[in-house]
Amino acid sequence: MTKPAGSAARRTLGEAPLLRAAAGKSSDRVPVWFMRQAGRSLPEYRRLRADSSMMSACFDPAMVCEITMQPVRRHGVDAAILFSDIVVPLHAAGIDLDIVPGTGPVVANPVRDVDDVRALPALAADAVRPVADAIGLLLAELGDTPLIGFAGAPFTLASYLIEGGPSRHHERTKSLMHSDPDTWHALLGSLAGITRTFLDAQVAAGVDAVQLFDSWAGALSERDYRELVLPHSAAVLAGIGVPSIHFGVGTGELLGAMRAAGPDVVGVDWRVPLDEAVRRLAAERPDGPAPVVQGNLDPALLLADLPVLEREVRRIITEGRAAGGHIFNLGHGVLPNTDPDVITRVVELVHSVQP
């Protein structure tokens, strides 16, 4: 496939610590970035977003570029993550939904039966052209800092579509997956198609890595995950063309199964120490390469006293040495009431520790 203009310069980034770690290679520092590093913890973000809706911001290339750059400039992190949202490709495909401030994604007509599933549109790459344009702008600004693209995994997207919005128990989703597995697989197949098109568009535009967020997969048993979810996430990740990271919350029991979906890196939340996570990941592929992990500071600890925070950061780096590679991150996203100066301090601390 021919790369669009602008992406050729990106192909020399193999020495970036983030990409070396993803490939199981060592560097002179532990690479670090933060999920939700762009966003409400930053006053410059709140100022910029004051007059625009979340969805319109996601389709404004200059705005996406600026918001993505803010935490890179401020914190000196080892990666940028594209500012977007997991429901952006669903909206672009023509599904009636919005991102409501203080709530999250809200779907006008939830998907509840086979007819709803049949009516789901596909995504045309052209419909996410503003995202590709934003990536083009970012490549010109980022220099040697890798850009991570992302998408939501089929299960987490399905939960929003079926429940109609954020859900604590995912009860309608679980009910559908068990009562009508054929409809369930048709739905996840459609969503895998949309997700793959969205990721392919980002890769073609030049992102250096991708993260597949299955944020709510931790609500499932391992058996249900393997049978009803894993094949669809594996289809999204197969042959994606850049290093991939797969992450979910509360997925301690699913770590092996998430490795089986085929990512290069598995993201770990704060509930499982990284050395134990490595043991679970290695058990899935005893003859495979040493597992590479990302994580796993509890985001709440960014609000703790600095000595406590420093002790936790050092513990995580020590435990991460059990892995074939370690990308330092939080166990979930930055909380909006986090002091951004503390994030900068954590970056400095991670970089000061010998890998």
Residue in 199, 236, 212 with CA at minimum distance from that of residue 35: 212
Measured from the CB of residue 8, what is the shortest distance to ligand 1CP in angstroms? 26
Q: Does 63 bind ligand 1CP (CB under 6 A)?
A: no
Our answer to whether residue 40 is catalytic in this structure is yes
Q: How far is the CB of 252 from ligand 1CP (least distance, A)?
A: 16
Provide the minimum distance between the beta carbon of 114 and ligand 1CP in the complex, in angstroms, as a whole number.
Answer: 25
- Rounded distance between C-alpha atoms, residue 107 and residue 85, angstroms: 14
Cis-peptide into 109, omega within 30 deg: no
What string of H, E and C letters represents the secondary structure of the chain?
CCCCCCCHHHHHHHHCHHHHHHCCCCCCCCCECCCCCCCCCCHHHHHHHCCCCHHHHHCCHHHHHHHHHHHHHHHCCCCEECCCCCCHHHHHHCCCEEEECCCEEEECCCCCCHHHHHCCCCCCHHHHHHHHHHHHHHHHHHCCCCEEEEEECHHHHHHHHHHCCCCCCCHHHHHHHHHCHHHHHHHHHHHHHHHHHHHHHHHHHCCCEEEEECCCHHHCCHHHHHHHCHHHHHHHHCCCCCCEEEECCCCHHHHHHHHHCCCCEEECCCCCCHHHHHHHHHHHCCCCCCCEEEEEECHHHHHCCHHHHHHHHHHHHHHHCCCCEEEEEECCCCCCCCCHHHHHHHHHHHHHCCC
Residue (161 or 322) nearer to ligand 1CP, CB: 161
Of the listed pieces 80-88, 109-117, 128-136, 168-176, which binds ligand 1CP according to CB under 6 A? 80-88
Q: Taking CB under 6 A as the rule, does residue 105 contact ligand 1CP?
A: yes
Closer by beta carbon to ligand 1CP, 183 or else 215: 215
Q: Which of 83, 225, 270, 328 binds ligand 1CP (CB under 6 A)?
A: 83
Told to check if 229 binds ligand 1CP by CB under 6 A, we report: no
Does 333 contact ligand 1CP by CB under 6 A? yes
Q: Interface with ligand 1CP includes 194 (CB under 6 A)?
A: no
Q: Which of 85, 208, 214, 264 is catalytic?
A: 85
Which x/- pattern over 29-58 shows residues binding ligand 1CP (rule: CB under 6 A)? ------xxxxxx--------x----x----
Considering only residues 215, 233, 251, 294, which one is a binding residue for ligand 1CP as defined by CB under 6 A?
215
- Residue 166 lies near ligand 1CP (rule: CB under 6 A): yes
Is there binding between residue 59 and ligand 1CP (CB under 6 A)?
no
Q: Answer whether 189's CB lies under 8 Å from 114's CB.
A: no
Binding mask 123-162 for ligand 1CP (x = CB under 6 A): ---------------------------x------------
Q: Which of 20, 29, 40, 226 is catalytic?
A: 40
State residue 116 phi and psi, 5-degree precision.
-60, -40
Q: Does the annotation count 36 as an active-site position?
A: yes
49 among known catalytic residues: yes
Size of the residue set binding ligand 1CP (CB under 6 A): 21
Residue choice 28, 50, 51, 101 for contact with ligand 1CP (CB under 6 A): 101
Phi-psi domain of 206 (left: phi exceeds 0; alpha: psi -120 through 50; beta: other): left
Catalytic residue among 10, 45, 78, 160: 160
Span from 82-90, 180-188, 194-202, 308-316 in contact with ligand 1CP (CB under 6 A): 82-90
- Is 329 an interacting residue with respect to ligand 1CP (CB under 6 A)? no
Question: Which residues in this chain contact ligand 1CP in the complex, by CB under 6 A?
Answer: 35-40, 49, 54, 81, 83, 85-86, 99, 101, 104-105, 150, 166, 213, 215, 333
Residues annotated as part of the active site? 36, 40, 49, 85, 160
